[in-house]
Amino acid sequence: MKYVALVARREYVENARTRGFWIGLMLFPLMVFLMIQVPVWLQEKIAPVRTFVLVDQSGGFEKVVESALEKDYQRRVLEGFRDYAARNVEGKTAGTSGVMKATDEINEQHPQALETFINRGGAEFYLRQVQPSLKPGAPPFREPRRRFQRVALPSDIIAATTNGSAASNLDLTTLGQNLKPYLRGQKKIVVDGRPLDLSAAILIPRDIEKQVVRPRAGASNSTGGAAIQYWSVNVAEANGLKDEVERAVNQEIRHQEYLARGMDAAAISDVERTYAPFVSLNPKKEAGRETVSMADKVKQWAPSGFVYLLWVSIFTVSQMLLGNIIEEKSNRIIEVLLSSVTPGELMMGKLFGIAAVGLSLVGAWMLSLFCILSWKAGGVSDIAGQILGVLKTSNMIPMFSLYFLLGYLLYAGVILSIGSVCNTLKEAQSYMGVITMAMMVPLLTMTYIPNDPNGIVARVMSWVPIYTPFAMMNRAAADPPLVDLIGTFVLLVASTITVLWMAGKIFRIGILRTGQPPKILEMIRWIKG
């Protein structure tokens, strides 16, 4: 063991000095930080305000659309104020407790919370409430930028369409065609002396009421006339202007339909805000704690992130091991080392030395993950606090460390065999292609298994040793059956030992071999011998 420890120490020191090691060490925390912070930066600083023109010839939806967009903006103001209060309010006075209660109610179960926020005066009212409880030196609250801004039709468009007629008299088909240069970015629309890009155009025809679909026994009374036109080159925008406008228009149409049928408007509003409280319960949790929280949902999906990290770490460290062996073999350093140690001692030393490098990387990644999540918890990212709580109260970190070590040893045995019989990286590529393809399977099922963690796919993959670390890590939050937990672990350990034993047989003969790599059948004979 003395010589194994010496080789392992040499491998660790040599690899820890490389630039690749330190780049890998710093890259993960940087990526975690950017994944949390970049969306916030993009939304607050970079995301452009979407300008649009609205022509409503029917006269019934212009104010509805503007009101809906204003409500969408106030919802974002409320969410921003909740983050601001969480970061800057110290203690809970009678005033702030009411504010926190109102802001916490901004979810699907309490839609009236937004109306309360707006009716009381929005952020200005609540800022006065929390002012006495703000931390010393707290920054001022900054409202988020508006996502959408309505602008007037360009004067040259109106003149070119109907010789200066009012917007209600414009021909929408011609108007849409004339707006194309603005929508394509070929022309700029001027707002307060500034040239801006036009993002969208919403054109509502005069007879839209006649086109409303009112199903009667499976049929509709639509006459096939002109529909509401939404012009934009951005067809992939999620939860964007089109969705807001479509939702607002259809809600108003339904409201008018209620009134047309003699229903009371106030009663309709009350009915629409009526809901039954719905709670999710987990039968596996302790009595009195069965309620499924947001942390439970995060816990269900957190293993997927660990699976990806496990894949990256095993693949990275295995490639490091392969490159190390082939480099030393091609430079004849292996021959010098074998003059002092046996092939078995050299193999085990390399195995444990590179494993120590991998554990150092993973340990640094975990530490940086905890630090970044602790920093961001309770701030702009609520999810950071939820993830941090899950990591502290679950067994995911120990499981990840265990499956990383076993997964590395399993794949490292195969890598050692390949590296010992190849003289260059080019020769090893044909073998590594097969291994890489096999390792892609866990990535393809990474998001499927959490939806059915104890299903047939998850259980079958768990019993395939090369996939056991990934599949069982992905099932960590689902409390897999004890037979799967213990059985797959025993099988993985037995498979790892077997692979390392076979790798030792191949390594002993192949490490000093030169020339073309041996055939698979020849390596099988080495193992049997």
Q: pLDDT per position in the chain (529 positions), as tens?
A: 777 888 788 777 877 777 777 777 777 777 767 766 666 666 666 667 889 999 988 888 999 999 999 988 888 888 788 777 777 777 554 444 544 554 454 434 455 677 777 877 888 887 887 777 788 888 888 888 888 889 988 877 766 555 545 555 667 888 888 888 988 888 888 888 888 889 899 998 888 877 787 776 444 454 455 788 888 887 666 558 888 888 899 888 888 888 887 777 677 777 766 656 666 666 666 666 666 555 566 666 677 777 887 888 888 888 888 888 888 877 778 777 777 888 888 888 888 888 888 888 778 877 777 777 666 655 445 555 566 666 666 677 788 888 888 988 898 888 888 888 887 877 787 778 888 888 888 888 877 888 888 889 889 999 999 999 989 888 887 778 889 999 999 999 999 999 999 988 888 888 877 777 777 788 888 887 6
Residue 125 domain flag: yes
pLDDT at 320: 81
pLDDT at 15: 75
pLDDT at 238: 52
> Does residue 160 share a domain with residue 128?
no
> Does residue 348 share a domain with residue 243?
no
State phi, psi for 110 to the nearest 5 degrees.
Answer: -130, 65
CA distances to 9, 42, 232 from 412, in Å:
18, 41, 53
> Does residue 303 share a domain with residue 260?
no
pLDDT at 64: 92
Domain boundary among 107, 133, 159: 133
Contacts by 78-85, CB closer than 8 A, 24 or more apart: 78/103, 78/106, 78/113, 78/114, 78/117, 78/122, 78/123, 79/106, 80/123, 80/141, 80/142, 80/143, 80/144, 81/123, 81/126, 81/127, 81/141, 82/106, 83/379, 83/380, 83/382, 84/141, 85/126, 85/130
Residue 54 domain flag: no
> Does residue 233 share a domain with residue 110?
no
Count: domains in the chain: 3
Residue 395 domain flag: yes
Residue 144 domain flag: no
pLDDT at 102: 45
Report how far apart the first and last C-alpha atoms of the chain are (Å, whole number): 25
Number of residues assigned to the chain: 529
> Does residue 23 share a domain with residue 169?
no
Residue 269 domain flag: no
> Does residue 75 share a domain with residue 117?
yes
Tell me whether strands 50-56 and 148-150 are parallel, antiparallel or unpaired: parallel
Sign of CA dihedral 208, 211, 213, 215: positive
Residue 139 domain flag: no
| Domain, as residue range, for 167 | 151-213+223-264
Residue 310 domain flag: yes
> Does residue 300 share a domain with residue 257?
no
> Does residue 454 share a domain with residue 330?
yes
> Does residue 121 share a domain with residue 8?
no
> Does residue 521 share a domain with residue 392?
yes
pLDDT at 218: 46
Residue 185 domain flag: yes
Apex 467 CA angle, 433 and 23, nearest 5: 60
Amino acid at 254: R
> Does residue 123 share a domain with residue 156?
no
Amino acid at 124: E
> Does residue 190 share a domain with residue 315?
no
State phi, psi for 45 to the nearest 5 degrees.
Answer: -115, -35
